[in-house]
Structure 1
């Protein structure tokens, strides 16, 4: 698989995450047939253009947390977008048993 094909596979999976659900970097990599490439998912999300329609904010880490530093603008933006979709935070965590997208 070329790098471009890997990126497209990741974007396809992320674009499929429904509103009100989240998915982890590792699970997205697995679903894109890139098991073990969670960091690549993070890199692809980081490089998205600001006007992208890909729901990057639905991607969180395996601990149920947002990966941005807690007091950063990006953290607040991601948390706000998730809360607008009904995602509930307990402290800094999302309950993955409830919010995780299951295919």
Structure 2
């Protein structure tokens, strides 16, 4: 998979996250690892920062449920409007984590 194809795969997966649910950067990387040969949560974060404006970026959080850095207030408002379970300063991952069935 080329770097451009990987960007598209990340964005396509983020588009599939249902309202009220979230995925972590690492879960996205893990899901795409076999097809892409890449397994970096940090790379997924970079892709979201550079290209994620057109997808539901607020549904991508870090491994502890922390909201996207620098966009916490807007993300919290969007997640709350979708009924996403929140806890403290982030998302309740036990209740909100989503992982697609197919690879």
**Both structures adopt the same fold (TM-score exceeding 0.5):** yes
- Contact residue 60 and residue 68 of structure 2 kept, 8 A: no
Which segments of structure 1 move beyond 3 Å, counting only runs of 4 or more? Answer: none
Unaligned 5+ residue runs, structure 1? none
Q: Give the counterpart of 1:47 among 50, 56, 72.
A: 50
**Farther off after superposition, 90-99 or 54-63:** 90-99
The structure in which a higher percent of residues are helix is 2
- Contact residue 85 and residue 95 of structure 2 kept, 8 A: no
Unaligned 5+ residue runs, structure 2? none
RMSD: 1.6
Structural mapping, 1:80-99, within 5 Å: 80-99=77-96
Matched residue, 2:8: 8
CA displacement at 1:36 relative to structure 2? 2.6
User: TM-score when scaled to structure 1?
Assistant: 0.84
